């Protein structure tokens, strides 16, 4: 299992559109993807689960991936978050 901590960097946080972009990317991988925010744990391939994570701007989350492509999954998902889910701010 691989994991990485990262800060939510887009101004609106992990809102509906950002969550859908994350889930779309996560489903490209065969690995199980889990996201943790303090005591909340979400299925990274479920939009409803990701929305319930409640991760506003500046929140530190931890990405977990387990499976054949876990390293690539963590790398690509962390990159997506660092690039603010493709948003301007």
Sheet holding 40-43, edge to edge: 2-7, 60-66, 32-37, 40-43
Nearest CA to 6 among 86, 76, 68?
76
Tokens read off for 40 = 């909340």
Asked about 15 being catalytic, the answer comes back as yes
Angle at 70 between CA 67 and CA 75, to 5 degrees: 170
Single out the catalytic residue among 2, 9, 12, 15.
Answer: 15
Active-site residue list: 15
């Amino acid at each position: 299992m691989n994991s990485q901590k990262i800060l939510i960097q887009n101004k609106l946080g992990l809102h509906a559109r950002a969550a859908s972009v994350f889930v779309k990317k996560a489903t490209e991988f065969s690995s199980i993807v889990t996201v943790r925010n303090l005591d909340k744990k979400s299925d990274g391939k479920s939009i409803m689960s990701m929305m319930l994570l409640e991760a506003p701007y500046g929140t530190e989350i931890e990405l977990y991936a387990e499976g054949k492509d876990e390293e690539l999954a963590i790398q690509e998902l962390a990159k997506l978050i660092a690039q603010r889910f493709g948003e301007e701010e």
